Structure 1
Amino acid sequence: MQLRLHNSLTRRTETFVPADPARVTLYVCGPTVYNYVHIGNARPSVVFGLLARLLKRLYPNVVYARNITDVDDKINAAASGAGVPITTITDRYTAAYHEDMARIGADVPDVIPHATDHIAQIIAMCERLIASGHAYAAENHVLFNVDSYADYGRLSGRSTDDMIAGARVEIAPYKKNPADFVLWKPSSPDLPGWESPWGLGRPGWHIECSAMAEAHLGDTIDIHAGGNDLMFPHHENEIAQSTCAHGGKVFARYWLHNGMLTFDGRKMSKSLGNVLVLHDLLDRYPAEVLRFLLLKGHYRQPLEWSDTTLQQSRATLDGWYGVLRDLADIDVPPDHMEVPASVEAALLDDLNTPDAFAAVAGLANAARAARSADEKRDAKAALLGAGRLLGILQQDAEQWFRQTPSGKVIDEVEIERLVGERAAAKKARNFAESDRLRDALLAMGILVEDTAQGPRWKTVSTDDRAV
């Protein structure tokens, strides 16, 4: 089965055919590092990191790039507000972003370009665009001439008037067309700046990605991906300036866009004030629960974020880890953990993670029903193989149940002591003491289950304690 992807440019799901199977290229728009990212910003890193993982199963050489935007007006404002140098802000939040991505299991890109390391390439691209008539200098700015590119608007499907209104563009006297966008802009002494043919200045946001993609992946890349909120103006402008800078060559052959996270039915965004910061969420919930929820819905669809969906995600993972805990005595060599065909087929169908998780649920059911040692080994191997590709079920099953809802490991010695006291009280038919200890443990977030093999405990969330 071949990989099929929904191409935002053609609005069709197409069979993926790389330009060069010996070097497949993927570029994903990364963060602007002026603060901690919100959970919605993590979705493209998780989803398209999974795509990179899948591509690496199919092709011998995949180059996955995800950039860091470390020069931007939002960064300038944050540094000014804090009274610190720009690099204090960018260094801090770049490190925090990498730490948070590692915790949530997002695949590490092969290349992580920083905009400030590519100023020379950005200036060179501006010069080529001016020389070819696709850009012009005016009042220490360099602007892209939208009228020079006939296909402007093809990706987003917007008319020029709609794009001007939607982008809330600056109507500046030095622009030939209100839709013309900035490639380079002047910097005052208090702002980051680099010497250029147009004076001290800094790049516009859009050309940064074009220059970084060109430097590391070439003039034409196979897949460009990011959130659908970037389709216009960012990706539209990337296409225009890159195509024109490269003499008409196609910039990206496939465009993939993930849907936004919603909270109470509204898009999650800093401007609406309804964001949930990933750094904080990782201290409140197990990282794997957050990853599972980000992959639970199809990547192209909006994803509703709520306490209910979090609880459902934790419950699903609890069920699957419960199967692995029941099979703890079954040894599975790592080379037996192959990816089941049903899971891979789902992902090859435009990263259909809902179908992939449905296949995992089937594997878990098969593992529960397994009777012979061979059946149990094969079923456990399939479940672990599926989890390894999806980035789940890789923890020790017993430890999974012995972490708090925030993902932190608890004081097992104390818990075991109380569980033992409860078992002794129950054996002595002191049911009042047994119930007291049960309730004390539940108040601590510990649910004790009596099984044929003896008492077994696990952590539960606050909402589960009343059950």
Structure 2
Amino acid sequence: MITRDSQIYNSLSRRKEKLITRKEGKLSFYSCGPTVYNLIHVGNLRSALVADLFYRFWKQIGFDVIFTRNYTDVDDKIIHRAQEDNLTAQEVAEKFIEEVEKDYEKAGCLDPTYRPRVTDTMMEIIGLIEQIVSRGSGYVIDGNVVFSVDSFKDYGKLSGKHLEDLEVGARVDRDTRKRNPLDFYLWKASKEGEPFWESPWGKGRPGWHIECSAMIQKLLGNQIDVHHGGSDLIFPHHENEIAQSEAGSGKAPFVRYWLHHAFVTINQEKMSKSLGNVFSAREFLNKFSGEMARYMFLTPHYRSPIDFSENAVWSAAKALERIYEAKNLAEDCVALSSQAIKNQAFEEFIAKISEEFYSAMSDDFHTPVAISKVFDLIKEYNRLAYQGSNDDKAGRAKSFLRFLSEVLVPIFGFGGDNSKEVLVRLSEIQKSIKGWDESGPEQLSATEIESFISERELARKQKDFKRSDKIRDELLAKGVELKDTPLGPKWSYR
């Protein structure tokens, strides 16, 4: 049962629309996956995480989601990598699919319903091309099959580009064999040393655009509810997908809702290999964590660019620290009593926060507002945490933890790990971030800080308050703030 209506921004109509699926309660969803010739970069990771957020939220509000994310395992880049490494293209693809799956797992991505590969869809690709040719939208030249954009009157409807304007730009690098310079290859005749498949037009391999259309047709049907990808794919990839899919099946629309996320910049510059500023997902996940990636890439709105910088990473670490400090406090409070008492006013506050959270997520995944509601709850919980009896404290703590486990974790995928372990890791991460440029004072490690705290607690028990205060001051001088609470000392980097 669908628990609430939601609005999503459709790139095709260029406005927010109410999400109405083709079949009530069911949602068919396709997200463009990576071309597997190398480790994925943080831009690819953002794409996977955004798709994962959509998937999680739609499931949370009651949709039966059929989620497909593909692997492109036939491509010029894969062939070039295979030649460089003295491997077959298949060996390169297999190797990097395995590595990408490791990154997805570490980033906390749920498994999609289907993970198709181009090489497993060749029969369907050839069949779709045959349909396109038979309907008069494709033509054959020298063993290649080409799509005729002039045959599709709505070409340009997704990108908003006019065919006449595009033709002027395309003439700069024109393939004279094409009827129109914008015509694109559905099937490429084989070249020596490249992988190939038998087809009615001879040996060859598919063009890039046709692959997604065929995988969608095979697994989800001729028409689907939602298609997602990066904004850089709108033209020509997704534009061409629409043209060939609707031309081949004779059914429109191919996709009801097109969702596109913005790109990632590195220190205010668009990430690109030519600039040498590509940051791999593996490097980020190993240096920091999957939860850090999730917070950093999901809490800004998906249609807003993200600047990948030291400040952004630091902010993500501090924000996660706030969440886990509150969780750790709540877990300590739960342990105070087995007779937890619910607080009606706090329950009503949580219900209000939950409604505002879901309203924000239902408004085209407005994650900045949604996460601000989580911090509103944390602020209120921290204010009330020590009030009342132990039964009262335990009751509020249980209610707070229930919100995390039933709302935040299932949708955002962070906040569910062991709080004490995560807080130690986040402290180490903050220390490493401050040390990126090897400047500034050397910070204490979490183990060193805990040692100071143990020494201070011993001094307090021995009523040596002069020594206790001195240890606090020493920690402060080293950038560590110590707070005494009814549940014991808590620390954080300043």
TM-score, normalization by structure 1: 0.89
Q: Distance in 2 between matches of 1:35 and 1:436?
A: 49
- 1:463 aligns with none
Aligned residue among 143, 163, 166 for 2:146 = 143
**Quick check: 1:360–1:386 contact (8 Å CA) kept in 2?**
no
Shift of 1:342: 1.9
Aligned twin of 2:368: 354
Letter in 2 for 1:380: L
User: Which position in structure 2 is the counterpart of 1:101?
Assistant: 104
Please, which runs of 5 or more residues in structure 1 have no aligned partner?
A: 461-466
Distance 1:51 1:454, change over 3 A: closer
2:48 is aligned to 45
Counterpart in 2 of 1:396? Answer: 418
- Return the match for 1:253 from 251, 256, 264: 256
CA RMSD of aligned residues (A): 3.0
Q: Deviations over 1:191-223 (max 9, x none)?
A: 111111111111100000000000000000000
Shift of 1:320: 1.6
Q: 1:83 to 1:168 in 2, by over 3 A?
A: farther
Offset of residue 327 of structure 1: 1.2
Structure-2 separation of matches of 1:307 and 1:157: 36
Q: Where does 1:183-222 land on structure 2 (aligned, <5 Å)?
A: 183-222=186-225
Q: Distance in 2 between matches of 1:193 and 1:340?
A: 54
1:106 CA drift (Å): 2.2
Equivalent position of 1:300 in the other structure: 303
In structure 2, C-alpha distance between the alignment counterparts of 1:407 and 1:378, rounded to whole Å: 33
- After the TM superposition, which residues 307-346 of structure 1 pair with which residues of structure 2 at under 5 Å, given as runs? 307-331=310-334, 340-346=354-360
Deviation readout 1:282-339 (Å, 9 max, x if unpaired): 1111221121110121111112221111111111111121111111134499xx9999
Deviation at 1:140, TM superposition (A): 1.0
Is 1:80–2:83 an aligned residue pair? yes
1:369 shift after superposition: 2.3
- Number of the residue aligned with 1:381: 402
* CA deviation vs aligned residue, 1:148-193 (integer Å, no higher than 9, x gap): 0000011001122543577798522321111100011012241111
For 1:406 and 1:189, the matched residues in 2 are separated by: 52
Q: Tell me which residue corresponds to 1:449.
A: 482
Partner of 1:263: 266
Identity %: 35
Unpaired stretches in structure 2, ≥5 consecutive residues: 339-346, 433-443
CA pair 297-327 structure 1, distance change in 2 beyond 3 A: same
> Kindly tell me: are residues 327 and 432 of structure 1, through their superposed partners in 2, closer, same or farther at Cα, counting changes over 3 Å?
closer
1: CA distance, partners of 2:173 / 2:199 = 23
Counterparts of 2:65 and 2:468 in 1: how far apart (Å)?
Answer: 62
* Deviations, residues 46-96 of structure 1 (Å, cap 9, x unaligned): 112111112223345210001000000011111111222212221121111
Distance in 2 (alpha carbons) for counterparts of 1:167 and 1:301: 29
Q: How does 1:11-30 map to 2 (within 5 A)?
A: 11-30=14-33
1:133 Cα deviation from its structure 2 partner? 0.5
My pick for the range that moved more, 68-77 or 363-372, is 363-372
Question: How far apart, CA to CA, are the structure 2 residues paired with 1:267 and 1:166?
Answer: 23
1:67 aligned to 2:88?
no
Following TM superposition, by how much is the alpha carbon of 1:250 offset from its aligned partner in structure 2, in angstroms?
1.6
Paired with 1:207 and 1:407, the residues of 2 have a C-alpha distance of 48
Q: Does the C-alpha gap of structure 1 residues 164 and 396 become closer, same or farther in structure 2, counting only changes over 3 Å?
A: farther
The answer to whether the 8 A contact 2:314-2:430 is kept is no
Q: Secondary structure at the match of 1:402?
A: helix
- TM-score normalized with structure 2 length: 0.84
* 1:286 and 1:405 in contact (8 A); partners too: no
Q: Corresponding residue for 2:429?
A: 405
Contact 2:171 2:181 in 1 (8 A): no
Cα distance in 1 for partners of 2:289, 2:251 equals: 47
Distance 1:165 1:288 in 2: 47
CA distance in 1, matches of 2:171, 2:314: 40
Q: Counterpart of 1:274 in 2: which secondary structure?
A: coil
Alignment: residue pair count:
453
Counterpart of 1:63 in 2: which secondary structure? Answer: strand
Q: Which residue identity lines up with residue 24 of structure 1 in the other structure?
A: L
Cα offset for 1:435?
A: 8.0
Of 129, 135, 138, the match for 1:132? 135
Aligned 8 A contact 1:224 1:252 in 2 = yes
1:174 paired residue number: 177
Q: Is the 8 A contact 2:170 2:181 kept in 1?
A: no
Question: Is 1:4 matched with 2:7?
Answer: yes
